[in-house]
Amino acid sequence: MDLTGKEIAMLVLRLLFGLLYSVYCMVETLVLTLIPRSYRRKDIKGNVILVTGGGSGIGRLMCIKLAARGAIVVTWDVSEEGNLETVRQVVAAGGQCRAYTVDLCNRHAIYAAATKLKQEVGKVDILVNNAGIVTGKKLLDSPDESIIRTFEVNALSHFWTTKAFLRDMMALNKGHIVTIASMAGKLPCNGLVDYCSSKFAAVGFDESLRLEFKAEGKNGIKTTVVCPMYIGTGMFKGVQSKIFPVLKPEYVAEEVVDAILMNTPVLLIPGHMRIVHLIRAGFPEKASHYLGEIMGVTSMMDKFEGRKKD
């Protein structure tokens, strides 16, 4: 270290200010939770919102809910059938929705679809990276191809979709990038090595991107990362959750839409997962492993079926 006495004093002062600022942020969070949500929601009427994986599960529900608030919703899904059903449901509810069949494993297809979307619908205001897949096999039983595919859909595609729309957002200093990760991106789980790793990557993507925007003074571009526990959409069919209840898709979609409208940076669902996450970070590895075992984490995937038997 090559710091002068004056520089060290300045550093200490700034650290003290940082501590005070942390306390201020905690109080601010507390006060915000006391303000009714209806006062904290932004207006998305006329916004173009792209939801990947909008052809099923919470992606479809988010399309319906966002369109109900006046947004022009676009779904990208590899399933043409799923996409068409989403368009049907959104339009039946009086909303606007466009669908494009896109395989998110194909970077070139993503860029081509982005160009088409901008020409046919307009600039994207909010991007929701929601599509995801799971194999649910132990590492040695997982074919290489499915590990690669898991990373392509759950993590890598976020880079390509974001790159495709970020330049427009940067020029306006306005936009929102939403990452649907998972509690599997915060806590490890056996039988899900590829899935957890890809979701840890998605969480890291969101956190680093948020810092990048801050460092570049682009405070008008918001990011949100969502980490839910298991949701009853069928993706994790068969999973056994001893303590944590399987979440209702409607509830999760509503919470995510609210987080988007309130520019919430991090959303853990259910909220008490924040405590579980803190305990795990603070406890010795052996102790958190023991706690995980008694809470049934290590046997959760024993009867996993997923979507393959649907």
Ligand X SMILES: NC(=O)c1ccc[n+]([C@@H]2O[C@H](COP(=O)([O-])OP(=O)(O)OC[C@H]3O[C@@H](n4cnc5c(N)ncnc54)[C@H](O)[C@@H]3O)[C@@H](O)[C@H]2O)c1
**Shortest Cβ 27–ligand X spacing (Å):** 31
Cβ 206 to ligand X shortest distance, Å: 13
* Closest distance of CB 51 from ligand X, Å: 10
Phi and psi at 52, nearest 5°, equal -80, 150
CA atoms of 110 and 105, how far apart (whole Å): 8
SS3 95: coil
| E-state strands within 168-220 | 175-180
Question: Whose CB is nearest to ligand X?
Answer: 57
Say if CB 258 and CB 37 are below 8 A apart: yes
Binders of ligand X in range 111-150 (CB under 6 A):
130-133
Residue 21 beta carbon to ligand X: minimum distance, rounded to whole angstroms? 32
Q: Single out the catalytic residue among 39, 100, 111, 195.
A: 195
The DSSP result for 109-137, as a single string, is HHHHHHHHHHHHT---SEEEE--------
48-52 β-sheet, strand order? 96-101, 72-77, 48-52, 126-129, 175-180, 221-228, 266-269
End-to-end CA distance of the chain: 61
Query: In the complex with ligand X, which residue's Cβ is closer, 79 or 96?
Result: 79
**Backbone phi, psi, residue 177, to 5°:** -115, 120
Residue 48-67 contact track with ligand X, rule CB under 6 A, x = bound: -----x-xxxxx--------
Residue 306 found at the interface with ligand X (CB under 6 A):
no
Give residue for tokens 């006062």: 39
Using CB under 6 A, pick the residue from 221, 231, 259, 268 that binds ligand X.
231
- The smaller minimum CB distance to ligand X, of residues 78 and 221, is found at 78
- 170 or 188: CB nearest ligand X: 188
Q: Does 195 participate in catalysis according to the annotation?
A: yes
Q: Judged by CB under 6 A, does residue 301 bind ligand X?
A: no
Give the range of 72-80, 116-124, 255-263, 287-295 binding ligand X by CB under 6 A.
72-80
| Residues acting as catalytic residues | 195
Q: Which residues bind ligand X (CB under 6 A)?
A: 53, 55-59, 77-79, 82, 102-105, 130-133, 153, 180, 182, 228, 230-231, 233, 235-236
